[in-house]
């Protein structure tokens, strides 16, 4: 359904310098630490890449009949460069569901869920008006599936159990077993020659300000020597995030312990230009390539821009089977808050730093740990899991193995909230596989009866 394909090994996708560097680093680490490395290589991604000889950015019709564009490696994904090329649900599952009569309502939020006496469900929905006032609506349905993600689904269920009191038979395990999938972000930086260039640049500026020509000339000489010794820029904003990976054994020797993948981010100067264009209403996805060409021109005529371009670090996206387990609770405003014992992951993060140093050191770069997480005790989490965990009974989980909610008929949860542990890899395809498996089970059950309920055997 997702039409996943491996990140291409042909131009222009294979010519991304940061990808080339990380691929080389992963190969070196795999040889030097063969006792710890399980595998490495390119990743299968839900992104549409142009075929060999094709045109990145060109439009095409996918296998489901939806219109898309081929990914362009020069576009910045965080700033919307993957709109049209990412195989998002609106171009496969939801696209086909609409063809079969499904209605999709944007800007809506479910709030109150009530079981109807005799069967079925009543859902109170708030809709945010685009040009009018917000409105409320009540929708009734025979069967209800929640799929608002780990945070959204858990918050909704907690609110209906503990605030509205409409789902008071939900398992006491609701809100438990929260996991971050071990998400952690670090950096690596090429320092060769850059310190010398920055010192020389500062000397040259100071010499010009003080009219000290020998100091200015000496500074320019140091700047040029350092720049010649440094590496060309790696453009950490170009290419596709998660295009490559290396997989390590866990600290205890079991498999699928830690994944490290290449990341991307909009570099500050190009991000600033994008922000300015956006402030004037001129920004749209597809413009980053032009901004990149403009800054590349500046680098050729203004030396400091070349030095800046070589000074941006490369991000490493790390994840794995970590040690901490969190818990949801509702704040006074009815929103979910997560209590997460970050210190429980101290040994896990130390191991990630060790592995990150291996990768950076293999290509002569300096490793930069996640100081923000260490100081603030907060982390960015793109892979929230748990909150409505599966179990064998209501005493051990909110749902069974097929996402059917204990204590309620015709109510299912099918998203990352039902996964009770950190998986290790990016969890999207696992979540989809669980949902498809659950639907196979549910449809077989409906062939025998008209009710979806937890199996008794």
Quick: pLDDT tens for 404-447.
Answer: 999 999 999 999 999 999 999 999 999 999 999 999 999 999 99
Cβ–Cβ under 8 Å, residues 406 and 393:
yes
What is the mean pLDDT of the segment spanning 277-286? 88
3-state SS, residue 79: helix
Six-digit token string for 3: 């039409």
Q: Mean of the pLDDT values across residues 362-367? A: 96
Q: What is the pLDDT of residue 457?
A: 57
pTM for the predicted model, two decimal places: 0.91
Per-residue model confidence as pLDDT tens digits over 119-176? 999 999 998 877 777 888 999 999 999 999 999 999 999 999 999 999 999 999 999 9
Q: Which residues pair with 41 in a beta bridge?
A: 245
Q: Please list, in sequence order, all residues whose beta carbon lies within 8 angstroms of the beta carbon of residue 367, skipping any fewer than 6 positions away.
A: 186, 187, 188, 353, 356, 357, 359, 360, 361
Dihedral (CA of 56, 59, 62, 64) sign: positive
- Given the DSSP bridges, would you call strands 67-69 and 121-127 parallel, antiparallel or unpaired? unpaired
- Centre a 10 Å sphere on the Cβ of residue 297 and count the other Cβ atoms it contains: 11
pLDDT higher at 412 or 81: 412
Residue ranges per structural domain of the chain: 105-179+384-457, 194-229
Domain range 105-179+384-457, CATH architecture: 3-Layer(bba) Sandwich (3.50)
State the average pLDDT over residues 15-28: 95
Mean of pLDDT values over 247-254 = 96
pLDDT on residue 219:
92
Strand-pairing partners, residue 330, are: 336
Sheet containing 108-115: order of strands: 108-115, 121-127, 135-141
Q: Which of 338, 386, 321, 414 is nearest to 178 (CA)?
A: 386
């Amino acid at each position: 359904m997702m039409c996943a394909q491996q990140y291409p090994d042909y131009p222009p996708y294979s010519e991304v310098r940061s990808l080339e560097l990380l691929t080389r680093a992963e190969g070196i680490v795999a040889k030097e630490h063969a006792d710890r490395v399980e595998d490495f290589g390119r990743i299968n991604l839900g992104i549409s890449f142009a075929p060999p000889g094709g045109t990145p950015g060109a439009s095409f019709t996918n296998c489901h009949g939806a219109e898309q564009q081929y990914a362009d490696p020069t576009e910045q994904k965080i700033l919307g460069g993957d709109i049209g090329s990412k195989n998002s649900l609106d171009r496969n599952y939801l696209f086909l569901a609409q063809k079969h009569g499904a209605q999709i309502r944007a800007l809506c939020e479910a709030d109150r869920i009530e079981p109807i006496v005799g069967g079925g469900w009543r859902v109170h929905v708030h809709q945010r008006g685009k040009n009018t006032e917000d409105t409320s609506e009540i929708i009734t349905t025979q069967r209800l599936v929640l799929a608002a993600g780990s945070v959204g689904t858990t918050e909704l269920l907690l609110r209906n159990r503990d605030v509205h009191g409409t789902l008071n038979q939900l398992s006491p395990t609701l809100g438990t077993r929260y996991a971050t999938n071990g998400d952690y972000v670090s950096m690596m930086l090429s320092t060769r020659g850059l310190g010398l260039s920055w010192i020389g640049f500062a000397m040259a500026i100071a010499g010009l300000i003080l009219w000290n020509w020998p100091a200015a000339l000496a500074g320019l000489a140091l700047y040029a020597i350092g720049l010649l010794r440094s590496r060309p820029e790696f453009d950490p904003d170009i290419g596709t995030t998660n295009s490559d990976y290396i997989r390590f054994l866990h600290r205890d020797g079991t498999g699928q312990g830690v994944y490290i993948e290449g990341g991307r981010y909009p570099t500050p100067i190009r991000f600033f230009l994008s922000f300015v264009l956006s402030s004037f209403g001129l920004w749209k996805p597809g413009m980053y390539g032009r901004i990149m060409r403009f800054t590349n021109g500046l680098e050729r005529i203004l030396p400091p821009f070349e030095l800046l371009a070589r000074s941006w670090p490369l991000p490493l996206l790390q994840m794995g089977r970590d040690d901490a387990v969190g818990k949801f609770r509702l704040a006074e405003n009815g929103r979910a808050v997560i209590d997460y014992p970050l210190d429980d992951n101290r040994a896990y993060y130390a191991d990630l730093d060790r592995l990150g140093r291996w990768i950076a050191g293999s290509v002569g770069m300096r490793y930069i740990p996640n100081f923000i997480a260490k100081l603030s005790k907060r982390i960015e989490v793109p892979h929230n899991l748990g909150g409505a965990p599966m179990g064998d009974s209501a005493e051990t989980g909110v749902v069974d193995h097929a996402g059917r909610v204990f204590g309620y008929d015709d109510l299912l949860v099918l998203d990352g909230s039902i996964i009770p542990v950190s998986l290790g890899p990016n969890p999207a395809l696992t979540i989809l596989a669980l949902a498809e498996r659950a639907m196979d089970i549910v449809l077989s059950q409906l062939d025998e009866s008209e009710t979806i309920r937890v199996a008794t055997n």
